[in-house]
């Protein structure tokens, strides 16, 4: 959560209306201004259709299967999942099939999954 300091400049009528709203609600004028600011920010975000936080893509069943198989391989081989992913990507097709017991048909799907889900290098 981010906190911003905002200065409000109100004329006499606006200040009076703000005080009346605060009195009716039984809260301070500062809280009323905070509520107004939150409401305006929410409306502007909705109108501009900018998501507050983008939703991550849902994991498909196939992705889940690949992730689980990579984790199983890493545990069985005593190496990290990253090492298994790296091996699948770097070894030749024949060596990857032999070392990781992945069927030839599934290897390309594993490689595509790894490329798609690997974090970009910094």
Q: pLDDT tens digit string along 30-42? A: 898 888 888 988 8
| Domain end among 14, 32, 55 | 55
Q: Which residue has the higher pLDDT, 4 or 119?
A: 4
Asked whether residue 31 falls in the same domain as residue 70, the answer is no
Counted domains in the chain: 2
Domain ends where: 11, 26, 55? Answer: 55
Does pLDDT of 7 surpass 90? no
Mean pLDDT value across residues 97-121 = 88
The predicted pLDDT at position 113 comes to: 93
Does residue 69 sit in the same domain as residue 30? no
Q: What is the mean pLDDT of residues 2-31?
A: 88
> Both 36 and 71 in a single domain?
no
**Alpha-carbon dihedral 93, 98, 104, 107, rounded to 10 degrees:** -60
Against a cut of 0.85, is the pTM above it? no
Longest dimension (CA), the chain: 81
pLDDT band at residue 117 under the 50/70/90 scheme: confident
Model confidence at 52: pLDDT above 80: no
CA angle 88, 90, 57 (to 5 degrees): 55
**Residue showing tokens 């299967």:** 65
Residues 3, 51 within the same domain: yes
Rounded distance between C-alpha atoms, residue 10 and residue 7, angstroms: 10
Range of the domain at 86: 61-117
Mean pLDDT computed over every residue of the chain: 88
Euclidean distance between CA atoms 34 and 32, whole angstroms: 5
Mean pLDDT on 16-22: 90
Asked, for residue 43, whether it belongs to a domain, the answer is yes
């Amino acid at each position: 959560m981010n906190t911003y300091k905002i200065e409000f400049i109100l004329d006499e009528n606006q200040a009076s209306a703000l005080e009346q709203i605060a009195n009716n609600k039984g809260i301070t004028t500062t809280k009323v201004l905070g509520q107004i600011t939150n409401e305006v920010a929410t409306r502007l975000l909705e109108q501009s259709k900018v998501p507050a936080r983008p939703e991550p893509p849902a994991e498909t069943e196939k992705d889940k299967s690949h992730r689980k198989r990579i984790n199983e391989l890493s545990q069985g081989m005593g190496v990290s999942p990253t090492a298994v992913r790296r091996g699948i990507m770097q070894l030749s097709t024949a060596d990857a099939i032999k070392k990781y017991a992945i069927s030839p048909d599934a290897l390309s799907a594993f490689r595509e999954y790894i490329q798609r889900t690997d974090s970009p290098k910094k």
